[in-house]
Structure 1
Amino acid sequence: MQPRDLSDHVAYEAGRGIEEVARELGRDPSEFVKLASNENPHGPSPAAAVALRETASSVSSYPKAAHADLTAAVADRWNVTDEQIWLANGGDGAIDYLHRAMLEPGEDVVVPTPGFAYYGMSSRYHHGDVREYELSKSDGFVQDAETVLEGYDGERIIWLTSPHNPTGSTIPLEEIRRLADATDEETLIVVDEAYGEFADRESAVALIEGRNGYDARDDVAVLRTFSKAYGLAGVRLGYAVVPDEWADAYVRVNTPFAASELACRAGLAAIGDDEHVVRTVETARESRTYMREHIDSHVWESGGNFVLVDVGDAATVAQTMQRRGVIVRDCSSFGLPGCIRITCGTKDETERAVETLNGVLADLGLGSDAPEGPDTEVADP
């Protein structure tokens, strides 16, 4: 007996951890700093850490009350109804729920390339295919309606990422509105705002609810996560904000108790910890500015808690930096073999990363003042 044909599926490639790298190099983990996975350099919300400890003794119960409490808190945060909040096991779980709710077998999605591989992976799990629209290196990875429409041919779902990973670019709400107006009535626009707290942009929830001069829409949904600004990547907690018109589909597509007791209680504490979020966002903005001003190569502007750097040979630079104690993301897996992504760290971590990178670039004779040459060819996610 064998599983179904999975030849069209690819494994998700995560950033490497400190313990893994330290074992491979035979060194002490304390020698390394990890700036490869866009994690929160300040750790989890302190309030969430307390909630996790206090909740540990009650994990023998299913998270019915906790799930309802967190749903209500998130709904209050966005001024929407409880039914419009689809809690999930990380942002990945919300992606799966949206595909379950929307895709019939054989229907397709449109995804950005470079981009987050799981959009396409999840579509294929649900027997859908994948088309792409390209964010061009030569254009600074700009996101607008015209760029997305070049890859659109009536597909069921279009995925936008704002801020975009790994480039950091964002798409204005007016461009999202234009895109929604230009696509079929049964096409859903999903805006992945996993890094939304770090960007000086209004959330696309405004389009769902018809705020700030926009008409309310039933063809836009928004994805959010507790992994980044709240520092809860390890508990796996995310959610979608969906239009009221089809919000009740959640009860038919979600797994029983979609988020764990620990995750819900941590999220409930974290969502009220504004001080931690403000500190995290300020650190990211300071780190982005420092890297743009001090790295001896081109750094794209970013709305996320990371920057993309043009280094010429990502694999060599990332490996050399790793040997020198700084773990960054080689973006070859995104189809950008000339670029690395560096997570915004604390002041000390950021300064160490910049010093290490500049030393590597000088030793290897790499780097650039601005991106040159033809667009990078990007791979299927």
Structure 2
Amino acid sequence: MSRLELIDENIRTIPEYVPGRSIEDTAKKYDLDPASIIKLGSNENPLGPSPKAVEAILENAGKVHLYPSADAGELVESLSRYLSLPVSNICAAGPGMDGLLDNLMRLIIQEGDEVILPIPTFSYYEIAARANGASVICVERKEDFSVDIDAIRKAVSSRTKVIFLCSPNNPSGNMVAESDVRMLLESFRGLVFVDEAYVEFAEHSVTNLVMEYDNLVVGRTFSKIFGLAGLRLGYGVMPAWLKKEYMKTATPFNVSLPALKAGVAAITDKQHIEKSIAMVREGRKYLQEQIPFKVYDSTANFVLVDVSPRSASEVCESLLKKGIIVRDCRSFRGAGNSLIRVTVGTQEQNTRVVEAFRSA
């Protein structure tokens, strides 16, 4: 028996997650000064973290020899105030929202179960589900990337456990209507997972529906609006019955002490939140109007660009040579070969991106 046979066959066939390029790798490959490179491929906050979050990390740096609270209770209480929801409906998670997904799949999925993905969308849903034995049923989105609710409902079978919705969707940036979410919740016996990683940049959230429906889970993150991607901090909003079961299998102490303290501080920094939102909305409009290719409407902190008849790889390569990292979307199942995702940056960064697209 080869060593590889020790690994479950279902896992061996999972496509690898493709992250955005790093500044270090780009500088090395293209012989560029790292300081000259702008990274707009991973939807990070170009303003950085809240100064209050940084202060909280520094204040608690000398305490990292101690375990944090097992359930991140202090952070959950802060999130309760931030969301105006009971603590009984909120779970903190690390690393990032990915940790929430991993634990939910471990809790819910059994061998032979199915999950439904409207594609293209965030690829980690598939990885987390298949790693726990699920089969993935892909449903194509409409031409404008809106979710085809009728097609999703037709794809549901007796084995379907979870329907994944990303709102705003990654990589297209469009929302799922609340009426569509309600329709699925009312017609489906399993869980509906709504990923709201980018919702602070959008118009509305469905977290309030957790108080109405007992089969909704909403995933959130501190990686985007709060600028804490490097701390890997997320959380979930879910029915109280599910939180009780979720905590039984959650990894103890899964939120580190620095992440916990930074998260609590970041939530209170309304000035940083408002500044980040204003920057994104202004920059998003600028990119939509100035990039010389088709740019889809977005409610997130990025825009999706269709560079056809050219290829995404060709245009991305041209931008990389100019020191600009964007996201080639070919790794997103069902995205085709001509889509590029561009994170909204500062005005100076956005200007460089537009100039680079014009000369690509």
Is 1:258 matched up with 2:254? yes
2:195 match: 192
2:344 match: 344
Q: Secondary structure at the match of 1:51?
A: helix
**How many Å apart are 1:9 and its aligned residue?**
1.3
1:212 match: none
**How many Å apart are 1:182 and its aligned residue?**
2.2
> Deviations 1:310-348 (Å, cap 9, x if unpaired)?
102100000001101211111111133111110000011
1:144/1:175 contact within 8 Å kept:
no
- 1:204-243 aligned at under 5 Å gives the runs 204-209=206-211, 216-243=212-239
**How many Å apart are 1:147 and its aligned residue?**
4.2
2:316/2:326 contact within 8 Å kept:
yes
The TM-score, its normalising length taken from structure 2, stands at 0.94
Equivalents in 1 of 2:256, 2:42: separation in Å? 23
Q: Secondary structure at the match of 1:221?
A: strand
Q: Secondary structure at the match of 1:94?
A: helix
1:377 match: none
1:144/1:176 contact within 8 Å kept:
no
- 1:167-316 aligned at under 5 Å gives the runs 167-183=172-188, 185=189, 187-201=190-204, 203-209=205-211, 216-312=212-308, 313-316=311-314
Partner amino acid, structure 2, of 1:325: G
Q: Which moved more, 1:101-110 or 1:325-334?
A: 101-110
Equivalents in 1 of 2:97, 2:315: separation in Å? 30
**Matched pairs, number:** 349
2:149 match: 145
Equivalents in 2 of 1:156, 1:46: separation in Å? 41
2:71/2:253 contact within 8 Å kept:
no
1:132 match: 138
Is 1:164 matched up with 2:198? no
Partner amino acid, structure 2, of 1:106: G
Q: Secondary structure at the match of 1:207?
A: helix
The TM-score, its normalising length taken from structure 1, stands at 0.89
1:160/1:191 contact within 8 Å kept:
yes
> Deviations 1:336-377 (Å, cap 9, x if unpaired)?
3111110000011011101111111xxxxxxxxxxxxxxxxx
**How many Å apart are 1:127 and its aligned residue?**
1.4
**How many Å apart are 1:145 and its aligned residue?**
2.4
1:123–1:66 distance in 2 versus 1, CA, 3 Å? closer
Partner amino acid, structure 2, of 1:32: I
1:213 match: none
Q: Unaligned 5+ residue runs, structure 2?
A: none
**How many Å apart are 1:113 and its aligned residue?**
1.2
Q: RMSD across aligned C-alpha pairs, in angstroms? A: 1.4
1:299–1:147 distance in 2 versus 1, CA, 3 Å? farther
**How many Å apart are 1:141 and its aligned residue?**
0.5
**How many Å apart are 1:65 and its aligned residue?**
7.5
2:50/2:269 contact within 8 Å kept:
yes
Q: Secondary structure at the match of 1:71?
A: helix
1:100 match: 106
Equivalents in 2 of 1:194, 1:341: separation in Å? 16
1:329 match: 327
Partner amino acid, structure 1, of 2:207: V
Q: Which moved more, 1:32-41 or 1:66-75?
A: 66-75
**How many Å apart are 1:150 and its aligned residue?**
4.2
Equivalents in 1 of 2:60, 2:70: separation in Å? 13
1:124/1:130 contact within 8 Å kept:
yes
**How many Å apart are 1:149 and its aligned residue?**
2.3
1:260–1:110 distance in 2 versus 1, CA, 3 Å? same
**How many Å apart are 1:83 and its aligned residue?**
2.8
**How many Å apart are 1:265 and its aligned residue?**
0.6
Q: Unaligned 5+ residue runs, structure 1?
A: 210-215, 361-381
2:203/2:299 contact within 8 Å kept:
yes
**How many Å apart are 1:135 and its aligned residue?**
1.4
Q: Secondary structure at the match of 1:64?
A: coil
1:120 match: 126
Equivalents in 2 of 1:84, 1:177: separation in Å? 19
Q: Which moved more, 1:13-22 or 1:95-104?
A: 95-104
Identity %: 38
